[in-house]
Chains A and B, each alone.
Chain A
Amino acid sequence: MMETIGTYAIALCLIIGAIFSLVGAIGLLKLNDSMTRLHAPTKVGTVGVGALLLASMIHSWVFSDGSFHELLIMAFLFVTAPISANFIAKVNIHKRSCETPPSPPRDATWGTLDVPAEDRDFAPADHKASS
């Protein structure tokens, strides 16, 4: 009886993971702005892979002596996803592939767009600080 319930749970987790992976992939392909596109693949990275790993964990509990090893991958992915997203957003601001956000209250411009004072002479025109 427990094995049947576990098998159903595995199938449910696999379907949920597949749906979220598909949604993330469609969003990555279909959204039409660099910063907007950043939003879609987070579904693949958290719920999609998370549900697949949960299915793997239930599988190991149902069909052999289980383990919690998959929690390591889940924790690692959940910790590193915001860091890489932050880096990619900084790349978007740096390459000006999105609308530049409004200037920060104290400094003249954003750190990644700023040019050090001794390099201002040969920096391209649109990369100079706005002050």
Chain B
Amino acid sequence: MSFATELMNWAVVIAFVVLALGQVMAMIRLVIGPDTGDRILALDTMVINAIGLIVLLGISQGIRIYFEVSLIIAMLGFVSTVAYARFVLRGDIIE
């Protein structure tokens, strides 16, 4: 195994650890968040972190189909953030 491949494998491991740490930090903000806006923001950040984790999974396993999973999660995350914020703002999602 050459040095470059070893470096890439270590970078994948580091990125996994850091994104998991970021996910835990966003979850702490989700629990302690003093207001509704902070909780929505923490959920949005967690969705984006999850996209990053799935992309990393695709790199480390060399499977290409994971990009479709992350695309669907990106769409779902956006729709859920907008729905949550709209529910707080208007008391209704589809008027």
Tell me if A's interface is mostly helix, strand, loop or mixed: helix
Q: Judging by beta carbons under 8 Å apart, are B89 and A48 in contact? A: no
Shortest Cβ gap from B18 to chain A (Å): 4
Contact (A17, B52) CB under 8 Å given A8-B7, A76-B74: yes
For the complex, count residues of B whose C-beta is within 8 A of A.
Answer: 51
Tell me if B's interface is mostly helix, strand, loop or mixed: helix
Please, which residues of chain B bring their CB within 8 A of the CB of A112?
A: 89
Please, which residues of chain A bring their CB within 8 A of the CB of B4?
A: 3-4, 7-8, 11
Q: Judging by beta carbons under 8 Å apart, are B44 and A84 in contact? A: yes
Q: Judging by beta carbons under 8 Å apart, are A24 and B22 in contact? A: yes
Per-residue CB proximity of B29-68 to A under 8 Å, as 1/0?
1000011111011101100110110011011001010010
**Known contacts A12-B11, A97-B36; 5 further A-B pairs (Cβ under 8 A):** A28-B25, A28-B26, A87-B82, A92-B35, A95-B35
